[in-house]
Amino acid sequence: MPLVPILPPSTAPLADAPATIFDRERRPTMDSRNVQQAMLRFNEASKMPLMDPQAMAAPYEALGSVGRALTQTGSLGMTLAIKKQEATDKRLINTAQSAMDQAAIDFKAWQAQNPNAPESWTSEAQRRAQETLKPYLGMKEMSEAAKADLKLIGDVWQKQFVSGTDLAATKQTFGLAKQSYLNRANTAYIKGNRGEGDATLNEAVSGGYLALPEAEAHRMDGQVQATSVQLEQLRAESDRLLAMQDVNGARKLWQNAQVPTDITQPKFEAARKNALTDIQYRHAVGEDLRAVSFLADTDPTKGVTDLEDPWKFPNLNPAQRANELSKMRVAREAAAQDEVIAAKRAIDLLPADKIGSATVDGLGINLKQATPWHRAMIEDSIKAKQGKVNYEERFLVLSAAAGGFQSSGDMDKDMIAAARIELAAESLPTAYRDKVMQRLKDAQGGTGEAAITGPAIAEATRLAFEGNAFAEVNKPVQVDGVNVVRDPQKIGKTETETQSLFGIDLLWPDKGGAEVKENDGNPVVVKEVDPLAKAASKDKLEAAIKQLEKEAKMPKNKEWTPEDARQRMFQIMLENGATISPQDIDSQPTNPLLPAPGAREKAVNLEDKIKSYGY
């Protein structure tokens, strides 16, 4: 509102107003100035002394401060209470939102576990949303305003959550319907029913579950699959007919097969052409394999000979021939060992007066599969029956063979070599046999002393008994001062190598496969054993072996290699008076259990040893 100016008060006496204004009649006046002055002096004299009002108001000011403090304290408490409620509301709202997020995560996990039930997704989402919000909307700790905010937030989230789930359920339902059509079509194509598969895809397209380009892509895949199934069925049936030697039936099967009229027709035509071309060849291969199998059952020795001949069984490829040859050798070894066992039974049944004159051929056993090695085992059994076997010497030889065993990489050859050592060891006393078998086991596993000293002991044994290292054990047989000779024996064949002309194998003979004889095919000097020299060699060999094995166990020699053990064995033999020449090291053994030349590079050359067995 506007301010009204206030005039300052004045003590000046009023001027006499014109008499005409107030009264037309002039009044008499009184002079009261003296009286007034006296009153003024009286007032001045009666004035009280001045006092300090603040001193009197101080207690009231203190009371006012207390009041103001109390008022301010009440206001602060109110503020704190408001802030506390706000924090509680924020915390509960945030907790509720976290629960909403977790509920969404848990629901997705549930969806992944129930992909084939989309019709229940929406109701489950609605139930979970209500269960998630209900505890928070009824909390007493939350203010009404916060509850209103949370309800608004919850309604928005629930609507989005449920509507999103409903949309996903709709997509999943259509996706499952689409997949059911594809599965149905795929099953039909797998069965080779192209018509049903095509009709199923057409139905899916007309129902809007599958786009036409996608349906065509699946149709092409299904046709390829149907053709593949048809070809597999034809091949299986063709194989069955060929196994029954029904060549004409297999040929008619392919000729009368229904040719597809879709994109796979060229593939089917090419497969049928190849199958018809291959039927005759496969039949020929089957004939060869059946002939080989017959020989394995009746005469594996002839089977080995025929398989080593590249002109026999011409339809077998090199891999098939090698595989069948390996199996044939195993069959021959099994048959030969059966003959050895039968011969040993015959020896045990010999009358006492017939033992002294017994011979291998006189036992009445048909040794059709036995190799020279097996015949030698039978002869040793006869000598054992006659009491002419030196078991200590045999133990040394077999122990050397067992310790020098090393895999050739051919499982069948290794099995044959190990089986022969085991068969030969059966004639030893139990203690010796157990030592030989343990040494063989260690050598096969690459463990124990045999892994280090075995090859060296094997070579030393050969040099002692075959190379006359310690004494002239094997002396030439002479008649009238002339050495007696014999024809060289077959010891194997050279490795066969397939050759071809213009890429055709049949136009050029294979290289190799030539017969290999001992002593390069020259006459072989017949030798006889000097018993005294052999006994002396045995004693020195035993001493050398014991010394080598003792040194191998020393801590300083724990890093020995087989070559270190071999060099040390040669030194020990030389120290005991042995004479070893390069010719002795490279000489061929006559005992098939002793290592062949090349042992210094390879502990025991099993390939050469197998050849010496008669392979």
Query: What pLDDT, in 10s, does the model give residues 554-573?
Result: 888 888 887 888 888 888 88
Range with lowest mean pLDDT among 192-196, 270-274, 294-298, 349-353: 192-196
How is the chain split into domains, by residue range? Answer: 80-210, 211-298
Q: In terms of residues, how long is the chain?
A: 615
What SS3 class is residue 501?
Answer: strand
pLDDT of residue 232 exceeding 80: yes
Residue 503 pLDDT more than 60?
Answer: no
pLDDT at 495 over 50: yes
pLDDT digits (tens, 9 = 90+) for 169-191: 888 878 888 778 878 887 887 77
Q: Which of 230-244, 463-477, 513-527, 584-598 has the highest mean pLDDT?
A: 230-244
What average pLDDT does the segment 445-453 reach? 71
How far apart (Å, rounded) are the C-alpha atoms in residues 23 and 544? 178
Measured over all CA atoms, what is the biggest interatomic distance in the chain, rounded to whole angstroms?
215
For the segment 494-504, the average pLDDT, to the nearest whole number, is 56
What is the predicted pLDDT for the residue at 613? 33
Residues facing residue 492 across a β-bridge: 516
Distance of CA 576 to the CA centre of its chain: 55
Q: Which of 23-27, 40-44, 415-419 has the lowest mean pLDDT?
A: 23-27
Confidence check: pLDDT of 22 > 60: no
Q: Where do the H-state alpha helices sit in 363-503?
A: 372-386, 391-403, 411-425, 430-445, 450-465
Q: What is the mean pLDDT of the chain?
A: 76
pLDDT class of 203 with cuts at 50, 70, 90: confident
What average pLDDT does range 571-578 have in this prediction?
86
Asked whether the predicted pLDDT for residue 306 surpasses 60, the reply is: yes
Q: How far is CA 607 from CA 5, 369, 412, 413, 610, in A?
A: 141, 20, 11, 8, 5
pLDDT for the residue numbered 603: 32
> What is the residue-wise DSSP string for 459-497?
HHHHHHHTS-SSS--EEE-EETTEE-EEPPPEEEEPPPB
Whether 322 shows a pLDDT value over 70: the answer reads: yes
**Res 26: pLDDT:** 59
**Three-class secondary structure of residue 525 per DSSP:** strand
Answer yes or no: is pLDDT of 612 > 60. Answer: no
pLDDT given for residue 24 in this prediction: 56
Higher local confidence (pLDDT), 164 or 439: 164
Interval 586-602 mean pLDDT:
49
Residue-level pLDDT at 453: 80
- In this prediction, residue 437 carries a pLDDT of 83
pLDDT, mean of residues 578-584: 73
| pLDDT above 50 (res 601) | no
Round to whole Å and give the CA distance between 382 and 340: 12
128-137, 468-477, 486-495, 539-548: least confidently modelled range = 486-495
Pairing of strands 524-525, 527-529: unpaired
User: Residue 413, exposed/middle/buried by CB under 10 A (0-12, 13-18, 19+)?
Assistant: buried
Mean pLDDT of 50-78: 65
Q: What is the pLDDT of residue 51?
A: 65
Residues 6+ apart with CB under 8 A from 209: 174, 177, 178, 181
> Alpha-carbon distance 223 to 149, whole Å?
61
Q: What percent of the chain has pLDDT over 70?
A: 79
Alpha-carbon gap, residue 102 to 575, rounded angstroms: 88
pLDDT of residue 598: 42
| Beta-sheet pairing, 527-529 with 490-493 | unpaired
Q: In this predicted structure, what is the pLDDT of residue 376?
A: 79
37 has pLDDT over 50 = yes
Could you tell me the pLDDT band of residue 448, with boundaries at 50, 70 and 90?
Answer: low
The reported pLDDT for the residue numbered 602 is 34
Strand, helix or coil at 516?
Answer: strand
Q: What pLDDT is attached to residue 593?
A: 56
